[in-house]
Amino acid sequence: MKRWVKMIRFIGGLCLATLLGIAYVSYLCHNSLCLASEHSSLSSRYSVISSISSSSRSDIPSSPTSTVKLMGGIASTVNIELVAFEEAYDMGFDITNRDVIVFLHIQKTGGTTFGRHLVRDLNLENPCNCPRKRKRCDCFRPNTINEQWLFSRYSTGWKCGLHADWTELTDCVEGALDEYEGSSRKRRYFFITVLRDPIHRYLSEFRHVQRGATWKSARHWCGGQEFTSLPHCYKGSNWTGVELDEFMNCSYNLAHNRQTRMLADLTLAGCYTGYNTTADQLERDRILLQSAKQNLANMAYFGLTEEQAISQYIFERTFHLDFANPFDQANATLSAQAIAELTPVQNERVRQLNSLDNELLEFARQLLQERFRLLKRRDPHFRRNWLRVVHPHKTETSDGNSSI
């Protein structure tokens, strides 16, 4: 009889433990912590957390009226030291030590102009040396002959591949600089980028491709391998003369949502495996968008093509470096003309194909304004500094008025 009682108690205890385990797992899944196992086919580095970690959250400028939040953040594994916005502002950029600015250049965002500003217009004691008839400049640290403080197209060249994205750069930049400088060392990396209105950017890329551009030498490096077998949307050497409808109808056209893809950690969504299939597409899009938002929020700096003055001010206050020449707010005549020529059906189709970029840009606009307000509050000489950006040929008099 006692044996039966013990058996019943044992079975009851086992059932209770099982029920408690099920309840605990259910709780975790309710908070999105079991998502990785459910979608392990997308990535071996898939790690989803219920919210941004406290260290990441502190990198986003906060205020009592903060409107920019990142919930359900996705954790990436990066083996280099990335400096976020708040840290960049608080500690500054040390050009003499081990700090490196890394420019993530997304096609057709105005990055070429911004890249030239970086090598030619910064007020530095030891400015970049830009020899005539040479595209690249030598941006060496003071008192060195080969240590670069800027990793970009116009300084180091495309060392990590043509228009390398976030996934490529974070995996490649340290090794590329070690090889370039001939020695191995740990550095602090200040990632920066420029974003643009997705519709204008997409149509600008379309026109560029229509004239013969391909970027087919891009590496598409992800997860330790180069994806060389990505299908092309065209036959022959390029897509010259392509019409917009044909451009949009290519399902594996990398122009679609380009900004989101280039800012996201692609390893979280299986890199380029099954890129042009519909399997898990909604989940893949969610992962890429969330990752892009988080990486953008953790960048030391980003600017918007449509907000040149604010973008310049934020860069100068964040890095404590000034530009000798102001950013120009270029006319969007060509892209505006292209938009005006769209049929209502084409207009809607372009928006659908760039829906992730549209959401990313809305997030970026809010974050840019939040950073601007934060820096403005902290700047005791805001009026003078802002006036120098928007009216570089005017000076402020002692009575607070402006004069030429």
Of the candidates 360, 380, 261, the residue with the CA atom closest to the CA atom of residue 302: 360
| Cα radius of gyration (the chain) | 25
Angle between helices 344-353 and 355-378 (to 10 degrees): 70
Q: Evaluate whether 73 touches 290 at the Cβ level (below 8 Å).
A: yes
Of the candidates 380, 402, 382, the residue with the CA atom closest to the CA atom of residue 392: 402
Structure tokens at 311: 């973008």
CB atoms within 10 A of CB 103: 23
Whose tokens are 């953008």? That residue is: 296
163 is catalytic: yes
HSE on the CB side for 133, CA within 13 Å?
Answer: 0
Task: Find the distance separating the first CA and the last CA of the chain, reported in whole Å.
Answer: 104
Instruction: Give the pairing type, strands 225-226 and 402-403.
Output: unpaired
Exactly one of 105, 117, 163, 200 is catalytic; which is it?
Answer: 163
HSE on the CB side for 1, CA within 13 Å?
Answer: 0
- Three-state SS at 221: strand
| Chain length of the chain | 404
Structure tokens at 102: 């890394």
Residues annotated catalytic, as ranges: 163
